[in-house]
Each structure stands twice: as structure tokens, then as C-alpha cells.
Chains A and B, each alone.
Chain A
Amino acid sequence: DAKTTQPPSMDCAEGRAANLPCNHSTISGNEYVYWYRQIHSQGPQYIIHGLKNNETNEMASLIITEDRKSSTLILPHATLRDTAVYYCIGGYSSASKIIFGSGTRLSIRP
């Protein structure tokens, strides 16, 4: 599974877009990029995943660079409830072995 690199922490003002970067320069051509988040005292929660194309769902958007070496998770209108640790993971399938790193701790400022 691809190793990913994320900043340890970020902050964002409430109501603004939160852009969380992830580097995955060793990702292989058929490995997906998955994003999970973990709110304090809860288990991780799936957010979104993608392979080559940009993806959007009700929670977030995922922008993957053309060379697939990096991606950005976008929370369009951050709220206090988005305060969490966000994990970027590379893997062939979310249902197979995935390796969590240390993630990015996102703090939302009121």
C-alpha cells in the first residue's frame, strides 16, 4: 500500500473551505486514494475515495493531480463539527488492508 504524507495540523475559519493536502508520490496506477476522518472518541468514518478523476459527494470533494502524486480533500463550508483527524490512505481496496498514517488534525475556528 502507498505511503502518504500529510501535515500534522491545520486550522480553518468556520464557514470557509478547508483544503487538506496529501502527498502520495509512490502510489501505483491502480491504487485508490481514500479519505477517512476520526472525530474525538469515535471510530474513523469514510469520507470519499478516487482513482484518477475528481470526486464529489455530500461530504466533500477530492481533487487528484494528473500525475496522481498528490490530492486535496475539500470541505466546502467547514463547521465546528468538522473538527477531527483526517487520514489520507492509498490502497487497492478500502475493504482490504489499508494503512492509516498519523493524519492531519483539523481545527475549525469559530
Chain B
Amino acid sequence: EAGVVQSPRYKIIEKKQPVAFWCNPISGHNTLYWYLQNLGQGPELLIRYENEEAVDDSQLPKDRFSAERLKGVDSTLKIQPAELGDSAVYLCASSSPSGLADNEQFFGPGTRLTVL
């Protein structure tokens, strides 16, 4: 079974440029998460989708960050324009139907963003 796929694995951009990250969750997983992880810290949730609906985007900086999951499968996270402080690892995770304690989150390898 294929795991959560993310691309690109690494991205280097100059500040004020746009950037996009893509995530393909595990087949059949209707819940998808985007996390941000700064160096030396644990992941922080940016947004959670149930199918195509964003059910928790309270931590997403909406002035520059946007996300979509149009068909309830893969998802894109965008930053426009990027700032120096956005340098971090962006993690995508997925899980099967929510509300059950046994439904672990499966994480992708992440995209390491460097903003110069």
C-alpha cells in the first residue's frame, strides 16, 4: 500500500515568490491534514479537511496561505507571497473516518521549504 505522497521534497525560493506543495493521501482516507514544523519543534496543524470541506483552518494564516482539496482526494497548499519566516517543513497526513480513537494519522515525508 502506498503511503502519503508529497512533492516536491525540497524547495528553495526567494522571498515574495509564490510556492505550492502537493499531497496525495492514502487511498480511501477522507481526512487530510497540513502541518507546519519548525526546526526543533513538533508539527503544528494548519488545516484539516474532511473530504473536500475544511473543518478546521483556524491556524492557517489566511493573508498569505491558502489550501484546496477540490475533489476530496489530493490537496494543494499555497503560500503567496512567501516570507523568510515561512522556512520550515510542511507535512501532510491522512486518516480514515474521524471520531474513532483507533484512526491513526499517516504522515508523508514532508516538503522542506527554504526562503532566501
Contact = CB atoms under 8 A, between A and B. Distances in A.
A95 B98 CA distance: 5
Contacts of A49: 101-102, 104
Interface residues of A, number: 24
Given A97-B56, A103-B42, A42 B109 contact: yes
Contacts of A44: 43, 91, 93, 105, 107
Contacts of A75: none
B103 A100 contact: no
Contacts of A32: 101
A44 B44 CA distance: 12
Contacts of B108: 43
Contact of A93 (B42, B56, B101, B107): B101
Interface in B51-80: 56
A95 B107 contact: no
Contacts of B45: 97-99
Interface residues of B, number: 28
B28 to A, nearest CB: 13
Contact of B97 (A41, A95, A97): A95
A94 B95 contact: yes
B109 A95 contact: no
Given A42-B109, A95-B31, A100 B42 contact: yes
Contacts of B105: 44, 46, 94-95, 98
Interface in B88-116: 91, 93, 95-110
A55 B102 CA distance: 13
A92 to B, nearest CB: 8
Contacts of B93: 43-44
Given A93-B103, A94-B95, A95-B103, A87 B109 contact: no
Interface of A: 32, 34, 41-46, 49, 51, 85, 87, 92-103
6 contacts: A42-B109, A43-B110, A44-B93, A93-B100, A94-B105, A102-B42
